[in-house]
């Protein structure tokens, strides 16, 4: 007797069970959203900065949130020079004597220096002083994990901490990445770990100035919508577009307490929101590839994240594909009138030439 019908029934039951689980999860999210929306009607528009908004979401009163915002502004820093040099508020006061700062506990731990024991309060204050960037844990709390500083004051601040930071994305839900993929059926044609590979690549390439951008946004010191933020390296304007395109994204944010003004920036600075943001970002890329009748696979999606291959004819019926950056793009254009950026991986030659694809697939291999 054939076993085919039971197998099909079993597969159908499994899909139905997964769908019911997702529906229940979304219901819980929407219930939380209703509560948050009700509370927001009494506070929306009454706060002056994103720091106050974060305070309100943590259960503070409006006065307590504003007190925190004032303290943050007094302790925060700004970018004084175009090269990214940081000037702290203490250094701006030319009449004040600049005290000599001892190396922080976090930096000594990074450099392998053993310090004598300190009183608990002093040790805690010292451990949160950051790594010369004066980044305070109230603004980006994920920079400090179990007392360990997860960044260094260097051009690549997350170098060596990529895996620890990636783990923060699923700290609230160990199945976060698989759950978010299930929200977007179009992602079933790519590797489940491709999304995590993209985030890990972002962490490997994170620059000091990117971290400063995140900090300035988190403390309300600027609110540009065209700057890529957080682990997902997506801009706030893109988040708003994705919410319009995929209602389940807005429902998830609302259920997590991110609603109203500035929520599109705040979700990007919350590592636990990275899985759903990246899943929606990838879903949009896959939908675009499908519309353009381009084969959807790991390589084509990885390339669409950041096209980097230019093409031009060699003058003899052949096409040359190469990665160009900076001034080389203009110099090559002078020699090749038909040069163009290949926006999609429409053939194997583009995939083979792309450095972007190599980086993402290398991270995918690392994770699998």
Kindly state whether residue 102 falls inside one of the protein's structural domains. Answer: no
Kindly state whether residue 353 falls inside one of the protein's structural domains. Answer: yes
Among 258, 291, 324, the domain-final residue is 291
Among 291, 311, 342, the domain-final residue is 291
Kindly state whether residue 332 falls inside one of the protein's structural domains. Answer: yes
The whole-number pLDDT of residue 41 equals 38
Query: pLDDT (tens digit, 9 = 90+) per residue, 44-102?
Result: 333 344 444 445 445 566 566 667 656 654 444 333 333 444 333 333 333 334 344 44
Among 291, 308, 340, the domain-final residue is 291
Do 265 and 359 reside in the same domain of the chain? no
Kindly state whether residue 49 falls inside one of the protein's structural domains. Answer: yes
CA 277/CA 177 separation, integer angstroms: 11
Structural domain of 359: 298-367
Do 307 and 254 reside in the same domain of the chain? no
Do 250 and 361 reside in the same domain of the chain? no
Query: pLDDT (tens digit, 9 = 90+) per residue, 41-53?
Result: 343 333 344 444 4
Average pLDDT, integer, range 145-156: 84
Say yes or no to pLDDT of 110 above 90. no
Q: Give the number of domains in the chain.
A: 2
Do 352 and 248 reside in the same domain of the chain? no
Longest Cα separation, the chain: 92
Do 155 and 210 reside in the same domain of the chain? yes
Kindly state whether residue 43 falls inside one of the protein's structural domains. Answer: yes
Do 192 and 226 reside in the same domain of the chain? yes
Do 214 and 336 reside in the same domain of the chain? no
Lowest mean pLDDT among 111-125, 151-165, 216-230: 111-125
Q: Which residues contact 55 (CB under 8 A, 6 or more apart)?
A: 64, 65, 66, 68, 69
Band (pLDDT 50/70/90 cuts) for residue 221 is confident
| Global confidence as pTM | 0.67
């Amino acid at each position: 007797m054939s076993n085919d019908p039971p197998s099909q029934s079993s597969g159908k039951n499994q899909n139905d069970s997964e769908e019911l689980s997702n529906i229940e999860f979304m219901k819980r999210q929407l219930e939380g959203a209703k509560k948050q929306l009700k509370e927001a009607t009494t506070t929306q528009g009454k706060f002056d900065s994103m720091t106050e908004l974060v305070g309100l979401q943590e259960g503070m009163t409006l006065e307590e949130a504003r007190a925190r915002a004032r303290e943050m502004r007094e302790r925060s820093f700004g970018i004084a020079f175009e090269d990214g040099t940081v000037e702290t508020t203490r250094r701006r006061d030319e009449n004040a004597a600049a005290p000599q700062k001892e190396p922080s506990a976090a930096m000594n731990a990074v450099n392998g220096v053993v310090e004598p024991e300190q009183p608990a309060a002093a040790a805690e204050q010292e451990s949160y002083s950051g790594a010369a960037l004066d980044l305070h844990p109230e603004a980006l709390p994920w920079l400090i994990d179990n007392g360990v500083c997860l960044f260094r004051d260097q051009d690549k601040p997350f170098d060596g901490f990529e895996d620890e930071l990636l783990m923060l994305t699923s700290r609230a839900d160990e199945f976060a990445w698989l759950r978010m993929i299930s929200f977007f059926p179009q992602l079933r044609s790519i590797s489940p770990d491709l999304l995590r590979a993209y985030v890990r690549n972002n962490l490997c390439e994170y620059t000091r100035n990117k971290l400063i951008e995140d900090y300035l946004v988190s403390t309300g010191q600027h609110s540009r919508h065209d700057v890529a933020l957080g682990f997902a390296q997506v801009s706030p304007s893109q988040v708003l577009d994705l919410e319009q395109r995929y209602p389940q994204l807005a429902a998830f944010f609302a259920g997590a307490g991110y609603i109203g003004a500035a929520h599109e920036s705040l979700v990007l600075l919350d590592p636990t929101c990275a899985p759903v943001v990246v899943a929606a970002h990838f879903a949009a890329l896959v939908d675009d590839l499908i519309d353009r009748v381009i084969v959807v696979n790991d390589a084509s999606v990885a390339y669409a994240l950041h096209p980097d291959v230019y093409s031009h004819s060699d003058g003899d019926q052949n096409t040359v594909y190469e990665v160009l950056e900076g001034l080389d793009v203009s110099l090559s254009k002078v020699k090749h009138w038909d040069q163009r950026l290949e926006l999609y991986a429409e053939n194997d030659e583009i995939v083979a030439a792309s450095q972007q694809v190599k980086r993402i697939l290398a991270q995918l291999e690392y994770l699998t």
